Structure 1
Amino acid sequence: MNQPITNAEKLSKLPWSIGSNALVNVFVQLTFLGSVFILFLNTLGLDKSQIGFLLSLVPYTGLIALFIAPLIARYGYKRTFVHFSVLRLLFAALLLLTPWVVSNFGAEATLLFITVVVTLFSITRSIVVTAYYPWAQEYIPKSIQGKYSATNNLFTTLAGFLAVTLAGFVLDLTTGLTGYLVLIIIGVLCGAVAVWGVTKVPGGAPVEVGRGVMASFRDTIAALGDKGLLFFLAGVGLITLATVPLTSFVPLFLQEEVGLSSGNVVLVQTGVLLGGLVSTYLWGWTSDRYGSRPIMLSGICLLALLPIFFMLMPRYSPVSLYVALGIAFLQGIADMGWVIGSTRSLFVSIVPPEKRSEYTALYFACVGVFGGTSQLLAGQVVQLSSGVSGSFYFFVVDAYTPLFLLSIIFAIASLFTLRTVRSDTQVTVEEFAGMFLRGNPLSAMTSLVGYHFAQDESRVVAMTERLGVTRSPFTVDELLEVLADPRFNVRFEAIISIARTRPDPRLTQALIDVFNGTELALSNIAAWALGRVGDQTAIEALRQGLNSKYHSIQANSARALGRLGDAKTAPLLLERLQNEPDIGLQMAYASALGNLRAKEATSPILHLLHDIQNEGARRELALALARLVGDEGHFIHLYREARADFGTATAQAVSAFKRKIEKVLNSETKVLSTLGACADNLARDQLTEGAGYLAQLIEVLPADHYDPH
């Protein structure tokens, strides 16, 4: 009996899987599944419908997955993968005979030969892929599915980037079929090394299957009773109809309608690979954190925009290549989002582990049907619309325009279909997209990278500060993590950083937990942070803090409640202000009442201001009084001006008040004369005399100009 593979063993062997996949990508890019093969067929003189037919053979053979799944399980997923990968290489090598067939048997025989080779390659590829999906679900831990997909796509994309770059240079330096043959040889050699590497990956042992082929087929078809799978397959089919024709026929569009050379057309594919390369870790990380569906749907939204950009791009222009590279770069980002999101959704949310053979076979067959159909339809559409030309506003209408319009329609239909599938997250695509509009997402990403590489305390503290400064929702999990760090200074900085960032329910609850904890220093700073964050859900915990046995907790709770505007606490704070002997608590209550604009606290605060001599405390009490009348901004401005030149600043303030009073008290000469004398004395730095006139002003100003309090 086979022992289950441990996670440690799985993790240690994943690099072999990634390396093998990277080399396989080089193989397929240079043989059957890249723009090189499409240009190869075009060079042979095949028309669009013939090219579409040949391209459809690759996905259509995926239908055999419905019948061979139990045979593969019985033979062993790994053994099947390796053996048929070798056969796939041998069939790909047959393409090297194409020049001999052309020269000896003519065009019709060449088409037949290519058809046979593509069919053999497609059948073996379908068997290989059918074996891969259940095997991959076995050796890739679910907890890192997104991370694995990101890392795997990073290296496969990088390998593909190098392969396509090489292909572009080779095709520019050669003529006829020579360059294509060189690339096929390189591709087959890379494929051979890939097969050797995959033998190091664990798992994939034979599985006892107690059913025959037809019984297994019935079980596979029965899986369609799962509505979640059905909607997922429908969405996958629609996006396949939208994107596969673009991948196949955009190279011809760029060559025939935009005016790019064969070498440049191949180089455009580097934009796709580069876009995937730079975005793969972002998509993988976000899919593990926020779930599959928002990533998958975000990719579809971007894919729906691509045909519009292709229709708008300049034709036969010096900048055409660069525009094409830019669109291709966006395509790479979109493709990677779709691939990572949909793959994770398939393995984590859609496929039950006990039915992985049936579900993955059905998935691959569905992709094959839609993929093959899309190639056939695309070839026919382009062939039938070959005479179309014209313009519509900013859009150039040509033979490929109907194909682009159909792509947009299918992508939108896929978006609405996949919104209904079951998901491993409650995050919607709108919420996910909104995360990029809040805070500084770019700074957040760089801060996250820096945080995960930071080790010593001072570096972690610095990176924790940056996490808060970004004010991005992408840093929430790291802030929660750093709040549990064993180092006190790191936890202290985490609380301050949480206070800097945007309110988040999880962060607020974490601060409440710290506030209710036993570390007094952290509890006090947590109370301050709760006030600054401004989340009303913290009010109840802070009210409880008013009854703490520690004066510091009481004081910081009161200040935070004032910052949060908890008017219901005002009567209690006023009562305590009048009866509390502790000066520190009196200051906290007065400050909170000022924030709450509790005007009934005016008299107690004035008495406290009279009794306290500490300048810092007096300034805070004066500010509390200013807040009672709702004029904090004017008070702060006057305070700053007065620190530089007290007499001049206060004289200007009194003069401004006089001009305001003149508009409503024209006959009150006593008030105006008092104000004038006050301003004059203050301007001469005769502060005592100026203060005396202010006292007189209080007596002579009509009572109806005062607030009742």
Structure 2
Amino acid sequence: MHLLSLIRKIPIVRAVIELNTAPRKYLAFTSFNVISWQCIVGPAMVLFARTIGMPADRVGILISLLPFTTLLAVFMVPLVTRIGPKNLMLYTWLIRNLIMLPIFAMPFVIAQFGDKAGWALLITLTLGFCLARAFGAGGWLPWLHEVVPYEQRGLYFSAEAGTVQLVNVAILLSQGFFLGKSPKVEQFLVIYAVGILGGLLSLFWMARVPGGKGQKAIIRWEDFYRPYGPVLKDKTYLLFLFPAFLALSATNWFSSIYILYLRDILKLSERSILIISSSGSLFIMLTAPAWGRYSDKFGSSPAILRALLCHALLVIPFVEFIPRYPWVYYLVPILVVLITIFSAAFWTSIHRAMLNMVPENQRIPYTNLWTVTSGLALGITPIVAGQVIYHLSWFGFQISFIISSILCFISAILCYVSIKEQKDYSNPPLIEFLNPKTALTAVIEGFSISFGFSQNMTKINHEENREIPEG
């Protein structure tokens, strides 16, 4: 009993227990689904591409396929409404895993037609996987919006980040030790086999999630564009999407290139890279619930501000992190893990902010427009970064790190003033953060939130900012 009570006090376990039954089932499906994602389009995909000789510019295109294809979700409103998010996702999730089966012909293709044919096969199959996913992804957020109540959304996203990262830790560590230092093509194919199997198993758990039913309706041409009328007239939501786009791009300028940096600049082995990545996932699992509770108590804006400021400050030093300094090999893994934590904290908070600005009767068009925004940000960035690195090598990495840091600062400010939540959290005005002392306090709080000290520090700050009544 004593051991059980200790386990329940672990942040991620406590977060899952606090969720209602329906959100908990959706979380279970998501956790199994990540096995497929991590093995097929995760870091192993980038390492596989480099193993078969794919250049950095094409790797950037490969990375961009997943977010770019999500733009198709904008055309899926009538189908999501008629078929229902659940049935649509069941069909498309099955198809996307079956599409990847020809990947096992990779050794034959390379042997018979050369490396470029192997690159084409990998890009083509990944595109097919992403397209099938995109057709069903339009139902993801509306279904999630249906099963997760307003008051639990911050808790859900933090619990999701934690449990998903727990799975990530197991997968990445397994992949790292399995691949070793000089992996062969056949070893990567084993990882793809695990991903396809995991994807098929996730269908079982998806079927157990309640809700997601369709409506009997005749599909007309105007149904493909008419639902977006109210969204495009919502100035508050549109003004939120612009800084959100910048912020997503800012964090992606680092996340889309750091594996290439570790492999091509620091010359780390696949095992070391995946161990570093798994360490980041482990710490996300431990820290995400604290960020979710902070957002639920004080709002998404202050959480996003602190996460992006910390992200920006940690990325700047990478401009000088080159192999000739031996200490770089010890410091870089620590900073990568910290940046991963703040990137996940931002991701959790920005999604909470988005869902809390979505009207209940307009879930599908609102969340689809968000999918388009995030798809553009996460799709354009790796292509541009890949081109910059391909043509400028190390200088290209430096430019990417600088852009990431600058955009984080800018988007942190814009997100703080543009997010309008249903509840008034009475946060201090932005001008107060122009004070160096206040800005430094915000950065310190960003680190403290992850260690469970956020509520005490914020309480102190609110008491300091509160006016003392006369008399």
User: Scaled by the length of structure 2, what TM-score is found?
Assistant: 0.85
Match of 1:21 in 2: 30
Residues 171 and 179 of structure 1 are in contact (CA less than 8 Å); yes or no, is this contact kept in structure 2?
yes
2:408 is aligned with 1:411: yes
Match of 1:156 in 2: 164
Aligned CA distance change for structure 1 residues 235 and 436 (closer, same or farther; 3 Å):
closer
Aligned CA distance change for structure 1 residues 188 and 296 (closer, same or farther; 3 Å):
same
Once residues 63 and 83 of structure 1 are traced to their aligned partners in structure 2, the CA distance between those partners, rounded to angstroms, is: 19
Q: CA deviation at 1:441?
A: 6.2
Q: SS in structure 2 opposite 1:97?
A: helix
Structure possessing the higher radius of gyration over alpha carbons: 1
Aligned CA distance change for structure 1 residues 18 and 257 (closer, same or farther; 3 Å):
same
Q: CA deviation at 1:20?
A: 2.0
Once residues 372 and 280 of structure 2 are traced to their aligned partners in structure 1, the CA distance between those partners, rounded to angstroms, is: 26
Q: What does 1:655-670 align with in structure 2 at a 5 Å threshold? A: none
Q: SS in structure 1 opposite 2:99?
A: helix
Match of 1:692 in 2: none
- Which among 364, 369, 383 is matched to residue 362 of structure 1? 369
Residues 181 and 269 of structure 2 are in contact (CA less than 8 Å); yes or no, is this contact kept in structure 1?
no
Q: CA deviation at 1:141?
A: 1.1
Aligned CA distance change for structure 1 residues 437 and 251 (closer, same or farther; 3 Å):
closer
Once residues 214 and 443 of structure 1 are traced to their aligned partners in structure 2, the CA distance between those partners, rounded to angstroms, is: 47
2:426 is aligned with 1:426: yes
List structure 1 runs of 4+ shifted beyond 4 angstroms: 208-211, 316-319, 428-438, 440-444, 501-506, 535-539
Once residues 337 and 293 of structure 1 are traced to their aligned partners in structure 2, the CA distance between those partners, rounded to angstroms, is: 12
Match of 2:383 in 1: 376
Match of 1:176 in 2: 184
Match of 1:611 in 2: none
Match of 1:385 in 2: 392
2:150 is aligned with 1:121: no
Residues 290 and 450 of structure 2 are in contact (CA less than 8 Å); yes or no, is this contact kept in structure 1?
no
Match of 1:35 in 2: 43
Q: SS in structure 2 opposite 1:31?
A: helix
Match of 2:74 in 1: 66
> Partner amino acid for 1:20?
F
Match of 1:92 in 2: 100
Residues 109 and 118 of structure 2 are in contact (CA less than 8 Å); yes or no, is this contact kept in structure 1?
yes
Q: CA deviation at 1:87?
A: 1.3
Aligned CA distance change for structure 1 residues 316 and 212 (closer, same or farther; 3 Å):
farther
2:319 is aligned with 1:322: no
2:399 is aligned with 1:402: yes
Q: CA deviation at 1:435?
A: 7.6
Q: What does 1:249-288 align with in structure 2 at a 5 Å threshold? A: 249-288=257-296
Identity %: 23
Match of 1:203 in 2: 211
Aligned CA distance change for structure 1 residues 405 and 71 (closer, same or farther; 3 Å):
same
Aligned CA distance change for structure 1 residues 321 and 44 (closer, same or farther; 3 Å):
same
Match of 2:360 in 1: 353
Aligned CA distance change for structure 1 residues 170 and 196 (closer, same or farther; 3 Å):
same
Once residues 163 and 377 of structure 1 are traced to their aligned partners in structure 2, the CA distance between those partners, rounded to angstroms, is: 29
- Which among 235, 245, 250 is matched to residue 242 of structure 1? 250
Residues 168 and 267 of structure 1 are in contact (CA less than 8 Å); yes or no, is this contact kept in structure 2?
yes
Once residues 150 and 449 of structure 2 are traced to their aligned partners in structure 1, the CA distance between those partners, rounded to angstroms, is: 28
Q: CA deviation at 1:271?
A: 3.0
Q: CA deviation at 1:224?
A: 2.5
- Which among 301, 304, 308 is matched to residue 312 of structure 2? 304
Match of 1:166 in 2: 174
> Partner amino acid for 1:403?
S
Match of 2:240 in 1: 232
**Residues paired across the two proteins, number:** 443
Q: CA deviation at 1:353?
A: 1.3
> Partner amino acid for 2:396?
A
Aligned CA distance change for structure 1 residues 118 and 214 (closer, same or farther; 3 Å):
farther
Residues 228 and 365 of structure 2 are in contact (CA less than 8 Å); yes or no, is this contact kept in structure 1?
yes
Q: What does 1:211-610 align with in structure 2 at a 5 Å threshold? A: 212-220=220-228, 223-313=231-321, 315=323, 319-348=327-356, 350-386=357-393, 398-421=395-418, 422-423=420-421, 424=423, 425-428=425-428, 430=433, 434=441, 445=452, 472-473=456-457, 504=463, 537=469
Q: CA deviation at 1:370?
A: 2.3
Deviation digits for residues 285-333 of structure 1 (CA, Å, limit 9, x no counterpart): 1011111111122222122224313223352555444322211221122
User: Scaled by the length of structure 1, what TM-score is found?
Assistant: 0.58
Once residues 210 and 323 of structure 1 are traced to their aligned partners in structure 2, the CA distance between those partners, rounded to angstroms, is: 59
Aligned CA distance change for structure 1 residues 426 and 48 (closer, same or farther; 3 Å):
same
Aligned CA distance change for structure 1 residues 432 and 228 (closer, same or farther; 3 Å):
farther
Deviation digits for residues 559-612 of structure 1 (CA, Å, limit 9, x no counterpart): xxxxxxxxxxxxxxxxxxxxxxxxxxxxxxxxxxxxxxxxxxxxxxxxxxxxxx
Q: CA deviation at 1:205?
A: 0.5
Deviation digits for residues 423-455 of structure 1 (CA, Å, limit 9, x no counterpart): 3432247589848869x968994899xxxxxxx
Residues 310 and 327 of structure 1 are in contact (CA less than 8 Å); yes or no, is this contact kept in structure 2?
no
**Any stretches of 5+ residues in structure 1 without a counterpart?**
1-9, 389-397, 449-471, 477-500, 509-534, 540-709
Match of 1:681 in 2: none
Question: What's the Cα RMSD here?
Answer: 3.0
**Any stretches of 5+ residues in structure 2 without a counterpart?**
1-18
Residues 169 and 278 of structure 2 are in contact (CA less than 8 Å); yes or no, is this contact kept in structure 1?
yes
Q: CA deviation at 1:156?
A: 0.4
> Partner amino acid for 1:35?
P
Residues 88 and 124 of structure 1 are in contact (CA less than 8 Å); yes or no, is this contact kept in structure 2?
yes
2:52 is aligned with 1:55: no
Once residues 374 and 468 of structure 2 are traced to their aligned partners in structure 1, the CA distance between those partners, rounded to angstroms, is: 50
> Partner amino acid for 1:294?
P
Aligned CA distance change for structure 1 residues 178 and 295 (closer, same or farther; 3 Å):
same
Bigger mean CA offset, 230-239 vs 357-366: 230-239
Residues 107 and 186 of structure 2 are in contact (CA less than 8 Å); yes or no, is this contact kept in structure 1?
no
Residues 253 and 401 of structure 2 are in contact (CA less than 8 Å); yes or no, is this contact kept in structure 1?
no
- Which among 106, 109, 112 is matched to residue 104 of structure 1? 112
Residues 67 and 216 of structure 1 are in contact (CA less than 8 Å); yes or no, is this contact kept in structure 2?
yes
